Amino acid sequence: MLGSAVLTLAVTVPLHAKHKARLYDLKTGEVFTAQYTGNSSFGSGHGKITIDLRGKQLAGEYSTVPQGTVGWGSVLTSAGMATGTGGVLSGRQEGQAIASGDGEVVQCEYIVSSWSAHGSGACRDKEGNLYKLMF
């Protein structure tokens, strides 16, 4: 009698892994770092973000929603990276982030792939400076 073998594959995904992002100042070319943590390896969800911006330490949160969000797109539009959104892309998710500290506030909007958890977007600080966001 032939026996059957069962192969079990266990994948461990850290629930609060730290991920890195970069903000590129669109006027000066300076590059700033950010870190975010979350409970999903697929790009959606909610978590914390920290940004080191010109020596100022900012902390806040982000939220990524499958199938888009209401009122999304004003930062990308002001950065000249979009004039609106349309069409359907498989695995596309939209998100927003905000971080503050040391008298500074940064607001971001981004698009992330649920397939790779990589994305890009735009950020704006309270003075109106614009940044390209890459992660």
CB 46 within 8 A of CB 61: yes
* Widest distance between CA atoms in the chain: 76
Q: What dotted CATH number matches 18-134?
A: 2.40.128
In 12-126, beta strands by DSSP E: 18-25, 31-38, 45-53, 56-66, 92-101, 104-113, 119-125
Q: Where are the domains of the chain?
A: 18-134
- pLDDT value of position 76: 62
2-16, 49-63, 97-111: segment of lowest average pLDDT? 2-16
According to DSSP H, which parts of the chain are helical?
Answer: 74-78
**Tens-digit pLDDT profile for residues 75-107:** 666 656 555 555 555 678 889 999 999 999 999
In angstroms, the CA 130 to CA 108 distance is: 10
